[in-house]
Amino acid sequence: MSTITRRVALAGIASTLALPAAALEDAARMAGGLDQLRCLVILHEGEQRLARAFRGPAPDRAANVKSVSKTLVALLAGVAFARGVAPGPEARLVDVAPRLVPRGADPRVEAITLGHLLSMTAGLERTSGANYGRWVESGNWVAHALSRPFVAEPGAAFQYSTGTFHILGAALAVASGRSLHAMAEDWLARPLGVAIPPWTRDPQGFFLGGNEMALSPLALARIGEMGRLGGMWEGREVIPAGWLADSMKPRARSPFSGDDYGYGWFLTELGGEHAAYARGYGGQMLFILPERALVIAITSDPNRPARTAGHVGDLRRLVADGILPALEA
């Protein structure tokens, strides 16, 4: 049994059982002063340093992690590729799941690859932001997303779009003959000993590929720690190490944050340290800082916006100016 498994029992743990080191108290006070932040979990060198709910549910209670779901779907894609369930990021959507492509779709849809979906560079007008409501009110979410006008050629530019990841999730489901939730349970939840309950489905029964998954902050941190360890957990490969490395290579750049984007991961620097992070609406965050052996999971109020210049910026400063200096104390 690993050190983190001994020290972090997901079932029944209370936030008061994992008292932070004295050096983290200033960072904890800084976190507590952010009124949107609900829970903070810090793992350093495989040890739990902090697990505290400042408001809202305890660290072992499930929270909607919003678009962190995209990163989790990208992890599942890597397993699907490694197991031969899907052919790889270079494969075209039309070859992997032809029945998903609606009649009359722009011919450029045929050029979209799974890699374009993973990096959100499919070129289609995004379904997020002001377009989200119209998309989820449609009768066929996959067809609607694939029928949006092209705003760039496939592979040319980043377009943040939940619909893009939903297409990817549906393609994995068609290729495997299994639901996205079944894959999440078998390939992530069971190997890691965490819970990923069913979440929203579209009118055709496909689980939403880029939003609305629920995990506890402790479970989210455990996934991050597995990623930091190169996809290994208790001596078993959960996610192929090569896929994690490929996922964290820059493939596009967000026009909103200015950060690079790989396959499901944003890539940046925090406090002079390389960081990969997953981000969800409201300030749901999972940070991996591999050179510092650091994993940070944060949940926030899912009903309030969290822009890079707002709450997400505060969370980045919490990491750079609060947590990293505390680990050096």
CA distances from 171 to 104, 116, 176, 226, 323 (A): 19, 13, 8, 25, 39
Confidence of residue 22 (pLDDT cuts 50, 70, 90): confident
Mean pLDDT of 283-291: 98
Q: What is the model's pTM?
A: 0.93
Residue 138 token pair: 């449609």
pLDDT (tens digit, 9 = 90+) per residue, 147-192?
Answer: 999 999 999 999 999 999 999 999 999 999 999 999 999 999 999 9
Among 12-21, 43-52, 96-105, the minimum mean pLDDT is found in: 12-21
- Residue 21, pLDDT score: 61
Token pair 């694939």 is found at 146
Alpha-carbon distance 4 to 175, whole Å?
35
Q: What's the number of CA atoms in the CB half-sphere (13 Å) around residue 204?
A: 21
Percent of the chain residues past pLDDT 90, beyond the cut: 91
